[in-house]
């Protein structure tokens, strides 16, 4: 398989949809003439025209609202919001309209809308542009929340998202766009709600999603040098969440650490910990631990930003505590 970037994997999925489904169109700020803030839609306006690739004003609530209306009318729009913090300006449209219309209409209305946005930190974008708010949207019934970690994830999950009959929040980590991985040239689909065991192990489970998956993999490599065999679980989607996959892994390893960029207090990692405690308590040999971002606004300075994010050294330290029976 060829090795391509995360960005190119997304482009391949979108190009396939634009070529094969006349109902599909893209809209968002600077996605057309400029080619997108992260160059994901570069050249699309020239290739598909302004009817299919629409530049919009800086008005997130209006853009998402227009996407909802178009989806209700039978089209299959993809709305791109530049970063996840800008989605706060459209949160009423997302939470009170997109997520609820199918339920409140007794299934008569469908909203096949993909909302793409960039999230996460590590790119020195400052406190107002470095959010990890995926847990907010995963809290809402009626929304699916997708968090690809690799180029392979990105292409397969975005293809599935375009074909879903109801709204999908598709969150891309800003630090991953240039990352590379093997991706099939042909189109393929990855199911929602099914995690990937990226590295099998026997001694403990490292659970991550999006950017934290790569931290978990690097930490697992360091732990292997200390004779600790860590399993790495890439969640891929937060809603639906692969609860069975999480529990199966923990029942095998008897220990778990949940890793996420988000703030620890009220973070999505706490939901995963609660599920493990509820469903696999008797299988645990130690408490479930979390390695999360610091509870501070994200610093701009590079060294401080890294200090506010979970790091491999912290994961390794927690793993050693778990495996040595010293976790408190």
Cα–Cα distance measured from residue 154 to residue 5, given in angstroms and rounded to the nearest whole number = 10
In 10 A of CB 110, how many CB atoms?
16
Cα–Cα distance measured from residue 45 to residue 42, given in angstroms and rounded to the nearest whole number = 8
Q: Of the listed 8, 29, 60, 196, which one is catalytic?
A: 60
Q: Among this protein's residues, is 131 annotated catalytic?
A: no
* Spacing of C-alpha 120 from chain mean position: 9
Q: Of the listed 8, 29, 80, 129, which one is catalytic?
A: 129
User: Are 17 and 159 contacting, i.e. CB atoms less than 8 angstroms apart?
Assistant: yes
**Per the structure block, which two tokens stand in for 183?**
């991706």
In 10 A of CB 36, how many CB atoms?
24
**Per the structure block, which two tokens stand in for 116?**
């793409």
CA dihedral 11, 213, 227, 242 (to 10 degrees): -110
Cα–Cα distance measured from residue 260 to residue 133, given in angstroms and rounded to the nearest whole number = 11
Cα–Cα distance measured from residue 39 to residue 71, given in angstroms and rounded to the nearest whole number = 25
Q: Among this protein's residues, is 139 annotated catalytic?
A: no
**Cα dihedral sign, 15-20-26-32:** positive
User: Are 242 and 211 contacting, i.e. CB atoms less than 8 angstroms apart?
Assistant: no
Q: Measured at the alpha carbon of residue 268, what is the angle toward residues 265 and 271, in degrees to the nearest 5?
A: 100
Catalytic residues: 60, 129
């Amino acid at each position: 398989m060829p090795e391509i970037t995360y960005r190119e994997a997304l482009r391949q999925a979108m190009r396939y949809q634009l070529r094969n489904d006349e109902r599909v169109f893209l809209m968002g700020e600077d996605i057309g003439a400029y080619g997108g803030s992260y160059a994901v839609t570069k050249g699309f306006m020239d290739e598909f025209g302004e009817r299919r690739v629409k530049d919009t004003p800086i008005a997130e609530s209006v853009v998402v609202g227009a996407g909802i209306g178009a989806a209700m009318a039978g089209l299959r729009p993809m709305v791109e919001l530049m970063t996840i913090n800008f989605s706060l300006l459209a949160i009423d449209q997302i939470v009170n309209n997109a997520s609820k219309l199918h339920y409140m209409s007794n299934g008569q209305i469908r909203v096949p809308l993909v909302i793409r946005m960039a999230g996460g930190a590590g790119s020195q974008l400052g406190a107002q542009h470095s959010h990890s708010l995926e847990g907010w949207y995963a809290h809402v019934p009626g929304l699916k929340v997708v968090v690809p970690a690799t180029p392979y994830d990105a292409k397969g999950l975005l293809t599935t998202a375009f074909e879903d009959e109801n709204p999908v929040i598709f969150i891309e980590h800003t630090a991953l766009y240039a990352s590379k991985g093997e991706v099939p040239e042909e189109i393929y689909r990855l199911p929602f709600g099914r995690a990937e065991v990226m590295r099998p192990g026997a001694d403990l489970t490292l659970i991550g999603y999006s950017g934290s998956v790569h931290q978990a993999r690097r930490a697992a490599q360091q732990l292997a040098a200390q004779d600790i065999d860590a399993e790495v679980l890439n969640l891929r989607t937060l809603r639906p969440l692969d609860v069975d996959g999480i529990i199966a892994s923990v029942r095998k390893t008897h220990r778990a650490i949940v890793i996420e960029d988000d703030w620890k207090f009220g973070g999505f990692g706490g939901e995963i910990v609660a599920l493990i405690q509820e469903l696999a308590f008797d299988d645990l040999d130690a408490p479930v631990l979390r390695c999360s971002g610091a509870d501070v606004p994200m610093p701009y300075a590079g060294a401080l930003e890294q200090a506010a994010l979970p790091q491999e050294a912290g994961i390794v330290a927690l793993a050693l505590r778990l495996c040595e029976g010293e976790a408190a």
